[in-house]
Chain A
Amino acid sequence: MRTKFDEQLEKLNVALITTGALCEDAISTAAKALLENDMDLAAQVKPIELEIDQKEREIETLCMRLLLQQQPVAGDLRQISSALKMITDLERIGDQTSDIAELVPYLQKGDLSFSKVHIKEMAEATIKMVTDSIDSFVRQDLALARGVMEYDKVVDGLFNKVKAELIQLIGENRESGEFCIDLLMVAKYFERIGDHAVNVAEWVQYSLTGVKVNA
């Protein structure tokens, strides 16, 4: 019985790692598509997002089955319940990444050169957060998880910076209004993805320590 439980738990773990990896793929593809104005790359994000959705359902089923059939307690219960929460955040990351990819065509004609620097930095910072949060789960690394929570400030700061730059840009050139609004949405999506990465890190912390902090 125990062996079966362990096997299912390991299966859950692998499924979560895979989903995390898919999220990383999606966000790096979307960011690359955005920065290089590559429509083909942008089109690749949607299938990844669908795959993430499918994984989410798969993991939910697995968690439910584990909870009902094995009735885990203590650490095991925390691991499963945090997996159940984590997958929701991962799925949201997938959705928002897909939203960014959908905006890429509208950013074609605009001149990204001004704000591009900080959008690029923002994309990199967000990718780092997602990667670190998944790494913290994979390695069960509490310090790394806390690092992700700290790093959210950097992304928030970058968002404000991008916002200020865009306001200035609209002021200088009214024509670029639509472009700037779209770019602001991209920045907001990145910021939200960062928040979800923090959530993932918090669930990692919860599953390791049993303490849930409210950010």
Chain B
Amino acid sequence: MRKKIFKNMCLLAVVTIFLSSLLVTFAYYGTANSRMKAEVREEARFIQGAVELSGQEYLDTVKGTPNRITLIDTDGSVLFDNQADPAAMENHAGRQEVQRASTTGAGESTRMSDTLAQQIFYYAVKLDNGQILRVACDTDSVFAAVLAVLPWIVSAALVVTLFTVLFSNFLTKKIVAPINQLDLNAPADDKVYDELAPLLTKINRQNEVIAQQMKSLREKQEEFTSITENMSEGFLVLDRNTDILSYNSSALRLLGADAAPAESHGSALALNRSAGFRSAVDAALSGNRSEQLVRQGGRCCQVMANPVLRDGQVEGAVVVILDITEREERENLRREFTANVSHELKTPLTSISGFAEIIQNGIVKPQDIPRFAGNIYVESQRLISLVDDILNLSRLDEEDVQLERETFDLAALARDVADRLKDSAKKNGVVISVLGNKTPANGVKSIVDEMVYNLVDNSVKYNKKNGRVTVTAELLPEGPTLTVTDTGIGIPQGDVDRVFERFYRVDKSHSKEIGGTGLGLSIVKHGAAFHNAKVSLESVEGQGTTVRLTFPH
């Protein structure tokens, strides 16, 4: 814009100078020409007077004058010429000025000479004797006059142009400066040029629209980000070259990328390059939905990759990553439980069926039948207690159990349990002692009874000869607490976490020597969960175990 303004101003100046110079030249030429003509006429009349008075001889006196003086006879032949030989000159009767002079008494004409640069003005007058006197004057033509002035025009134009360049430079800057200083963020405030007002208003309106759209875009983006960021599932959007377009922090966490190398939006394979992830992404980018498991650092993730199609072309992929570690663990536990239940139920049934079979076949002597029947009885008792335990457990699993809660004395309950287990303890050579005063606790008495029974029973069963079991009931600041301590065989450190699992036994042989179903501590755990009570277990292998139940107030 500055350049254009500057250029136009310069052009205007130059054209102006050129045109005005031309006009001045023409005007000057016009006046000079008419003065010259007047002088020639004057001279012609003067000579006419002189010739009429003193005859042709006068003409000899004007031989040296700059103007050409010619005397032409009535028939057109030249009588005298002060610059050429009259004899060599042709007949002048046909000349325009001569003809006019012979008819009207005076005539003039202007003719170009041989060169364009000169023109000749002729003035002719008729003498009394009919002869024609002609005076001619050479003058520069207009063209030559202009040509003569041209150096002046050019030099003036140069000077003016120089001046114009400087001035228009300054002027242009001045014109453009307010436009350069326009605040495009608030264009409506500017009032420098009225011509710009519609444009500025439009910009202003568009600014508002853009700001509005940006705001809504940002809000949408934030909404999207807050959704994806709060998802525990990993989320990735990839383009055709596996470059990350969008991701959430869960994805980084689940893929095991500690830092966020996705900042530079590199390839997703930089986050995780395990075979599962690779094949899922590859499959999605070739247009197929794919699900893969990725195991990494003790975690199991399900990677689901879907192709993003546009006009039937794969544009990228959306990858969702689920952490299924827990689900996998639960699945394993459930499978184990089912296998355990089947095994535990099958063992006594196989024995019963075996005993019954040999009795049926009559192989057993009649006197042995009571012993076999006894065996069948023991096995079926075991089966019954097993089914009882499973029923108890599933009853506790049902969350909406409606059982009567009451306040009871933990110490009394413990004494009652100890009393019931007295025979079993005597058989194992273990002494049970119950300590503590009245400790009121709130809960379902039958369930708590079951829990305490299982704990004390375990302590008796997994004890050594001449061992001791101490049950303490007390009211601690945390709540009513029951502690069962024994001097038994203890639990190996590696198994402490697992003893609360159903059917889990430290002794894998499921030996019948000790009996038990492997469900005791599981019942304790579920019962405690039912009462919102806390269970803690400490054990030193070979020295004994302490289990503490803390009930809420």
How far apart are B243's CB and chain A's nearest CB, in angstroms?
7
The residue of chain A having its C-beta at the shortest distance from the C-beta of B273 within the complex is A21
Please tell me which one of the listed residues B241, B259, B274 contacts residue A14 in the complex, with CB atoms under 8 A apart: B241
A139/B261 in contact, CB under 8 A? yes
B445 at the A interface (CB under 8 A): no
Give CA–CA (A14, B243) in the complex, Å.
9
Give CA–CA (A139, B263) in the complex, Å.
12
A17/B261 in contact, CB under 8 A? no
Please tell me which one of the listed residues B241, B266, B275 contacts residue A25 in the complex, with CB atoms under 8 A apart: B275
Query: What are the residues of chain B within 8 A of A21 when measuring CB–CB?
Result: 269, 273-275, 278
A7/B267 in contact, CB under 8 A? no
Give CA–CA (A24, B241) in the complex, Å.
22
Give CA–CA (A21, B242) in the complex, Å.
15
How many residues of chain B get a CB closer than 8 Å to chain A's CBs? 13
How far apart are A91's CB and chain B's nearest CB, in angstroms?
17
Known interface pairs A10-B243, A21-B278; A139-B270 also in contact (CB < 8 Å): yes
Residues 2-55 of A at the B interface (beta carbon under 8 Å): 7, 10-11, 13-14, 17-18, 20-21, 24-25
Query: What are the residues of chain A within 8 A of B273 when measuring CB–CB?
Result: 17-18, 20-21, 24, 134, 138
Please tell me which one of the listed residues A11, A20, A134, A139 contacts residue B241 in the complex, with CB atoms under 8 A apart: A11
The residue of chain B having its C-beta at the shortest distance from the C-beta of A48 within the complex is B275
A17/B270 in contact, CB under 8 A? yes
How far apart are A162's CB and chain B's nearest CB, in angstroms?
28
Query: What are the residues of chain B within 8 A of A13 when measuring CB–CB?
Result: 266-267
Query: What are the residues of chain B within 8 A of A24 when measuring CB–CB?
Result: 273
Query: What are the residues of chain B within 8 A of A17 when measuring CB–CB?
Result: 267, 269-270, 273
Known interface pairs A25-B275, A139-B261; A18-B241 also in contact (CB < 8 Å): no
A14/B261 in contact, CB under 8 A? no
A14/B242 in contact, CB under 8 A? yes
B241/A10 in contact, CB under 8 A? yes
Interface centre among B259, B266, B273 (most CB of A within 10 A): B273
Known interface pairs A10-B241, A10-B243, A11-B241; A18-B269 also in contact (CB < 8 Å): yes
Give CA–CA (A14, B239) in the complex, Å.
13
How far apart are A9's CB and chain B's nearest CB, in angstroms?
11
Give CA–CA (A61, B278) in the complex, Å.
22
Query: What are the residues of chain B within 8 A of A134 when measuring CB–CB?
Result: 273
Query: What are the residues of chain A within 8 A of B243 when measuring CB–CB?
Result: 10
Residues 271-311 of B at the A interface (beta carbon under 8 Å): 273-275, 278
A138/B241 in contact, CB under 8 A? no
Give CA–CA (A139, B274) in the complex, Å.
16
Query: What are the residues of chain A within 8 A of B267 when measuring CB–CB?
Result: 10, 13-14, 17
Q: Mark B520-553, 1 if CB is under 8 A from A, else 0.
A: 0000000000000000000000000000000000
| A-B CB contact pairs (8 Å), 16 listed | A7-B241, A10-B266, A11-B241, A13-B266, A13-B267, A14-B242, A17-B270, A18-B273, A21-B274, A21-B275, A21-B278, A24-B273, A25-B275, A138-B261, A139-B259, A139-B270
Interface of A toward B, CB cutoff 8 Å: 7, 10-11, 13-14, 17-18, 20-21, 24-25, 134, 138-139
Nearest 10 A/B pairs, CB to CB = A21-B273, A17-B269, A138-B270, A14-B267, A25-B275, A17-B273, A14-B242, A10-B241, A14-B269, A139-B261
Starting from the known contacts A10-B267, A17-B269, 20 additional A-B residue pairs (CB-CB under 8 Å) come to A7-B241, A10-B266, A11-B241, A13-B266, A13-B267, A14-B241, A14-B269, A17-B267, A18-B273, A18-B278, A20-B273, A21-B269, A21-B274, A24-B273, A138-B261, A138-B269, A138-B270, A138-B273, A139-B261, A139-B270
